[in-house]
């Protein structure tokens, strides 16, 4: 089973947080046309079909510190590679802005209309990731970008 954690907006104190500064980054335009998911189970199944997620990856998802940008659900696909589902496009855009402003170094990610997949391998290990997020974005009709570069 893929490691998963449900987050409530009030659970911020118990959430492992990535320290991010500010929230003035630019969110990707045109998210209205990108795929959305109504459940984490469907999103994980779609990602797993393309990437082959681990059944029990080590670690915990990371959450930006901002109550308006908390995901409604998170799951790890691979160590340091997480899937975040948001209640709507506005929450996703706030989270994209936070990730864009991180001072942790380049963060590759893929996002749809209300979800994103974030690869923190480089931040966590200092090594480049072998995960093909660009291919995933292409296969899922989503957008790939590297933020905070």
Q: Is there a domain that residue 147 lies in? A: no
Q: Is there a domain that residue 13 lies in? A: yes
The model carries a pTM of 0.79
**Which residue range(s) make up the domain with 62?**
4-18+31-141
Pairing of the two strands 81-85 and 73-78: antiparallel
Question: How many distinct structural domains can be found in the chain?
Answer: 1
Q: Are the C-beta atoms of 105 and 73 separated by less than 8 Å?
A: no
Q: Is there a domain that residue 146 lies in? A: no
* pLDDT tens per residue across all 149 residues of the chain: 454 543 333 233 222 333 333 323 334 445 569 999 999 999 999 999 999 999 999 999 998 776 777 899 999 999 999 999 999 999 999 999 999 988 888 999 999 999 999 999 999 999 999 999 999 999 999 999 999 87
Residues 6+ apart with CB under 8 A from 32: 89, 113
Reduced to 3 states (helix: H, G, I; strand: E, B; else coil), residue 96 is helix
- pLDDT at position 31 is 56
Q: Is there a domain that residue 149 lies in? A: no
- What are the C-alpha distances in Å from 144 to residues 53, 125, 128, 137? 18, 21, 16, 6
Residue bearing tokens 């799951």: 75
- pLDDT at position 69 is 76
Pairing of the two strands 63-64 and 17-18: parallel
Q: Is there a domain that residue 78 lies in? A: yes
Q: Is there a domain that residue 51 lies in? A: yes
């Amino acid at each position: 089973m893929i490691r998963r954690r449900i987050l409530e907006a009030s659970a911020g104190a118990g959430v492992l947080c990535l320290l991010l500064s500010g929230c003035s980054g630019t969110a990707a335009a045109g998210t209205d046309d990108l795929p959305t998911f109504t459940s984490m189970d469907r999103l994980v199944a779609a990602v797993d079909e393309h990437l082959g997620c681990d059944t029990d990856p080590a670690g915990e998802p990371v959450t930006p510190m901002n109550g308006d940008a908390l995901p409604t659900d998170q799951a790890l696909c691979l160590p340091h590679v997480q899937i975040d589902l948001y209640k709507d496009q506005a929450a996703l855009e706030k989270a994209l802005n936070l990730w864009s402003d991180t001072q942790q170094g380049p963060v590759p990610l893929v996002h749809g209309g209300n979800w994103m997949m974030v690869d923190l391998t480089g931040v966590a290990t200092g090594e480049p990731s072998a995960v093909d997020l660009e291919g995933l974005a292409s296969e899922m009709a989503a957008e790939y970008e590297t933020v905070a570069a």
